[in-house]
Structure 1
Amino acid sequence: MLPSTHMSRATSRTAASEEGKQMGSLPVPSVQAMVAATGSAHVPPRYLRPTDEAVAAAGEAEIPVIDFRRLQLGDGEESACLHMACQDWGFFQLINHSAPEDVVEGMKANVQGFFQLPAETKKQFAQEPGQLEGYGQLFVVSEDQKLDWADSLYVKTQPLKDRNLRIWPDQPANFRMALDKYCAAVKSIADCLLAAMASNLGLDPEVIAEKCDGGVQSVRMQYYPPCAQADKVVGISPHSDADLVTILLQANEVDGLQIRRNGSWIPVKSLEGGFIVNVGDILQVLTNGRYKSVEHRVVVDEKKQRLSMATFHSPSRNAIIGPLREMVAHEDDAVYGSMDHDELMKLFFANKLDGKSFLDQLKKLKTSG
């Protein structure tokens, strides 16, 4: 790494503890249970948001589509499309991927099945105080911040030693098996995409792959209840993802993802049988801003529930995250400082979702380091 920007692990731990002392998310009521009890028209003040920017008309702009099969065959045109998508959009749809259809459909069924369980059953897998994993809501760090109109189930899936099976649901009956198969399938896809991205950047694929030896994979399943005041709530607050790449599975037919582009929110219409993939903050840092993570959010529907599952792929816990030497011509050209990955994630989860403010904190490490 670049000596002038590298922070020692001791320094990074101090920075993380000073900027965010709370790792877990504060407990909040289940939105699904609240809607079941009071109806979708009742929206407590804590969920109401100020008027936001206008949403661009559907179809006004469409994110790139990448054919995974052609990419694996070494198609130069497809590789160029992937490069453009990562540089200019930060998002793309992935079709003809290698995840078996029965594995994907089985995961969809189990996501739906979990959120259909009785409220008391789901509570068995609730987040514990000071912990992130489990059933609840992430990024709640104060008693007065605005809340998202959604419930989550967040679990770590890789490395195997990090799995906490207490909060891996055993209902529906084959949930754990479905999750294991699905996560293995999408990890293989993520590894192939990262190798292709490295090649497009003129890097030896091993430069990124070695950071992912024993890498971290986690999933967040989301349930968005319908809301009669859908224009006044947000399913997930605007943010970018703090990982290398995220693979999103649309678990039912209701869309809601939007990306910020040129000052407007662009709706993303998911393609049947495909995945939505986005660049994460860590990949932006490693590439020194060449590839860009993009702010996105989720809006909810007035009448229909929405279900989705995001799978996050990150480097190993002890990897140092900073601009790759190969991506920086001179040390002074580095945009970001460097930080231990484990401490970086503690910093990320200790704050509420707020656009791309997390990356701004990493830029500060450059000046303070």
Structure 2
Amino acid sequence: MDTVLDRPAPVADVASVSLADFAQDREAFAQALGHSFERYGFAVVSNHGISSELIARAEAASKALFALPVEAKLGYRPTGGGGQRGYTAFGVETAKDAKAVDLKEFWHVGRELPQGHRYADRMPPNIWPQELADFRAVMLELFAAFEATGLRLLEAIARHLGLAPDFFEDTVSEGNSVLRLLHYPPVQGGGPSIRAGAHEDINTITLLLGAEEAGLEILDRDGKWLSVTPREGELAVNVGDMLQRLTNDRLRSTTHRVANPVSERRGHPRYSMPFFLHFRPDYLIETLPGCVDAAHPDRYPEPITAHEYLMQRLREIKLL
């Protein structure tokens, strides 16, 4: 089957919100974001506070990383750990229940922990490419900026759910969040593989930079694919499975993919930088009482820690 498309999917009517408006009217912002998450599981966020200058430096560092010789990159593959740090080669990751591999390579940066930290056994140390002198500094700066923006969005989600505004602060404090640098090379011909097969994210929320290059698509309730098209510098933000589980499916972790480009773009690479914001490893994901009623019985009566859930899912996508 040829997976190169003749035309992009129709555009999804997800909310487009500005974090600059949050300070002026927190409740209005929270409801706009929350309703989009309930309907589509996605929203587009502008004025998010991550500077364009930082984004440009991080993009340049990412492109320099993937331009390294294959042999050099392969030297940064971790042993064990489910690919949570360092390099994962092209053609390794496979979406859950998919047979064809994804057409991508990627690099993971996680939280820097001091020696002897209580989560050191569950959050491996970072791996840094020795060939790129500024890589570590810029990626840790971007990690911190993503985390700060994520906390503001989680406050809005808490407000939408009727929780205390700071409800999520403890749940993600020292969370096992991951910054992923992604490179999708030019598509060579047809075949069953696409850039990223249909999947749901494992984590709490995902903040994605680089989605202005077409390809990000979500599966709507009627089974049709719709495109999500942020403008340059905007974030695509989506709900992950952990938050869906916590909210008893009130907030949707929507199936999405990165489709192969239309024919005239098949010779162009795609780069993006998603930030997977996670709960702390020992946080117990237990259905929120406010999300359970007679019409919505508890779908997840057995609590599970965030770490246990992560390990379960990494095995499903063949990274463990």
Q: Give the TM-score band, short-chain normalised.
A: 0.7 to 0.9
User: Once structures 1 and 2 are overlaid, which stretch shifts more, 299-308 or 339-348?
Assistant: 299-308
Whole-angstrom distance in 1 between the partners of 2:184 and 2:258: 9
Amino acid at match of 2:285: I
Q: 2:274 matched to which residue of 1? A: 310
For 1:1-369, list aligned pairs within 5 A.
50=1, 57-129=8-80, 131-132=82-83, 133-137=85-89, 139=93, 145-157=99-111, 162=123, 164-165=125-126, 167-230=127-190, 232-250=192-210, 254-261=213-220, 262-301=222-261, 302-329=266-293, 333-336=297-300, 337-352=302-317
> How far is 1:158 from its partner?
5.5
Q: Give secondary structure in 1 for the equivalent of 2:39.
A: helix
> How far is 1:186 from its partner?
0.8
User: Matched residues, percent identical?
Assistant: 26
Q: Contact conserved, 2:93 with 2:101, CA < 8 A, in 1?
A: no
Q: Contact conserved, 2:109 with 2:178, CA < 8 A, in 1?
A: yes
Mark the CA change 1:67 to 1:280 in structure 2 (over 3 Å): closer, same or farther: same
Amino acid at match of 2:88: G
**Deviations 1:297-328, CA, capped at 9 Å, x for gaps:** 11233211111111111111011112123322
Whole-angstrom distance in 2 between the partners of 1:73 and 1:115: 41
**Deviations 1:237-275, CA, capped at 9 Å, x for gaps:** 111101110011108x63221111121111222311211
Q: Give secondary structure in 2 for the equivalent of 1:215.
A: coil
**Deviations 1:111-144, CA, capped at 9 Å, x for gaps:** 11111112222122123256423212564599x9
Q: 1:24 matched to which residue of 2? A: none
**Deviations 1:191-221, CA, capped at 9 Å, x for gaps:** 1111111111111133332222221211222
> How far is 1:146 from its partner?
2.1
Whole-angstrom distance in 2 between the partners of 1:213 and 1:74: 26
Normalized per residue, the structure richer in helix is 1
Q: TM-score, normalised by structure 1?
A: 0.74
Amino acid at match of 2:145: A
Whole-angstrom distance in 2 between the partners of 1:55 and 1:289: 34
User: Once structures 1 and 2 are overlaid, which stretch shifts more, 258-267 or 126-135?
Assistant: 126-135
Gaps of 5+ in 2: 115-119
Structure having the higher Rg: 1
Mark the CA change 1:159 to 1:192 in structure 2 (over 3 Å): closer, same or farther: farther
Q: Give secondary structure in 2 for the equivalent of 1:223.
A: strand
Whole-angstrom distance in 2 between the partners of 1:201 and 1:141: 30
Mark the CA change 1:89 to 1:158 in structure 2 (over 3 Å): closer, same or farther: farther
State the superposition RMSD in angstroms. Answer: 2.8
Q: TM-score, normalised by structure 2?
A: 0.84
